[in-house]
Structures are given as C-alpha cells and as structure tokens.
Amino acid sequence: MSTPADHREGAHHGGGAVVGDGGAIHDIGYRRYDGERLGPLSIERALFVEGLRGAFGLGRTTKAKIVPFLLLAALLLPTVIITLVRVLTGDLLPVTYAAYLHSTQVLIAIFVASQAPALVSRDLRHRVVSLYFSRPITRTGYVRAKFAAMASATFLLMCAPLVSLFAGALIAELSFREEFPEFLIGIAAAALIALLLAGISLAIASCTPRRGIGVAAIIAVLLVLAVVEQFVDAIGNETGHDALEEWSSVLSPFSLVRSIAHHLLRGDTLSIAAAPSTATGLGYLAAWAGFIALTVGFLVLRYRKVSVS
C-alpha cells in the first residue's frame, strides 16, 4: 500500500504525470487555446455569413441549390433577351430597372418564401436555438443576424438582373449619363424591397418549426396582400376616391416600394397617374419604416419567448 511519501518520491514518473498528495494530474496532450477570444459580434457575424450562404444553398446539399439558382436564372434570362432586342433592333429598353423588379415580384416572392423558413424554422424544428443562446449572444443579436442574412440574400438576388440590364444598356451603347441614375434608383428600390420582405417572411417563418407550412404561409400572405391591394385600388378607381386609390399601395410590399420610388426618387417605375409628390413619398416611406419596425419587433418578442430547454 502506497503512502504519501511514496507519491512525493514518484512525483515526476513517466507519461507526463505529476503526482501529488491528493492524486495525479496527467498531461494527455490537449493544446491550450492562446488565440483571441471573440465576442457576441463575431458570433452574429458567423450566423450572418452562414445564413447568407445557406439562402443560396452554399455549404448545403445539391438539392438545396436548385430553387435559388433556378430563380436567379429565371430573373436573368429576360435581361439577356432585352439586351439582344436592343442591340438587334436599336429600340430603347422596354422596361426601367425599378419596374423590372415589380414585374418579377412573383419570382422574388418565391425566393423569400422558400429561404426564410430555411433560416429560422430549421433551428426551431431541430431545437438548436438553445445551443446558440448558450453562447454569449443575445436573442436580439440572433434576430439581427438572421434578418441581415435574409435581407442581404434577397438584395443580391435582385441586384443580379439589374446589373445585367445595366451592362446590356452599355453594350447597346445607350447613354451612361442617362442610364446610371435609373440604375441607382433600381438598386435603391431593391434595398427597400429586400428589407421589407425579409421582415415579413422571417416573422411568418418564426411562428412554425415546419418548413413546408412556413413556405405556404409566406406565399399566401404575399398573395393575399397583392389581391387586396388590387381590390382596394379598383374600388377607389370606380368610386372616384383618389386618396383610396393612391394609398392602396401600402397594402402590398412591391407596390409600396414602387410608390416610394415614384414620389421620392422620381423613378419612371410604372404608369402611376399621380404626379410625384415629396410629401406623399414621405408618407409612403413612413409606412415602409413602420412595417419594418413592426416585423422586427415581432421577431424580437417571438424569440424572447422561445424555450431554450
């Protein structure tokens, strides 16, 4: 039977063991971490990058890449045709940049509907939210990262056809001085649409852990909003209520941004009868900001109630 004296005598016996009165500490080769310890902002940045890549299926299976890249191709194909028509016939571009976004709203809506649940519903379904919140990241930080990722992915998707249209205009030797301001208006409209759609889609997707239900719910909400906007617009037109017809645009995300572009940016988006008005444009912009605040606020409250157990 060994005694404390025996342990002290063998304090440095082989194997990297250090023996003392209370037992032995073995060095089994784990390397100490001497690097920089990153904080909550770095975690948010990692969540943002992962969400942005995931929205396009990068880092995921081949199946996950099919929908986003098919939608991207569908958005780019008409721009190639428009450029060919301009080069071969010499006609002006038949559509402006901001108007192109409005005309392809169905494809953009499908993108946000398919990808927003991938960003948040899977975390709820697989109960990994507790793993995120076990690290030094707040629930608000989680919402901020997911919102930024969804908005950035949607913005990049819309920018691709706009850049293609602009490049096609230059190839067709249209005036850079005339085209570039319209291009910037299109980029601004894309940013406004991306932020609005990100808030709406994530708010809906965060309510269910089932991705299929989230996809269907987002498409249904965006479709209903578009139908209601058209219905109210028709009522205003038939009854002669110009204000009702004008402000019906706030009911649909794409129509709301179209009106902001028309009144504030003076963009030739679509055939809007009302003359551009800064006051009206500011009203539309206030409605846009209100929707953003409402959806982001809902997301923050939603994740404060999410269980981490």
- Which uninterrupted H or E stretch holds 24? strand 23-26
The pLDDT profile of the chain, 309 residues, written as one tens digit per residue, is 444 444 444 444 444 555 556 666 666 777 776 777 777 788 889 899 999 999 999 988 888 899 999 999 999 999 999 888 888 876 666 678 888 998 999 999 999 999 999 998 888 887 777 777 777 788 888 999 999 999 999 999 999 999 999 998 888 888 888 889 989 999 999 999 999 999 999 999 999 888 889 999 999 999 999 999 889 888 887 887 777 878 888 999 999 999 998 888 876 555 566 677 888 889 999 999 999 999 999 999 988 887 655
Round to whole Å and give the CA distance between 57 and 62.
7
Round to whole Å and give the CA distance between 97 and 159.
10
Structure-block tokens of residue 18: 């250090």
The CA-atom distances, in angstroms, between 93 and each of 73, 111, 162 are: 20, 26, 12
Q: Determine the Cα angle at 6 with ends 4 and 7, to 5°.
A: 65
99, 105 contact by CB (below 8 A): no
Facing residues of 17 across strands? 26
Task: Supply the pTM of this predicted model.
Answer: 0.83
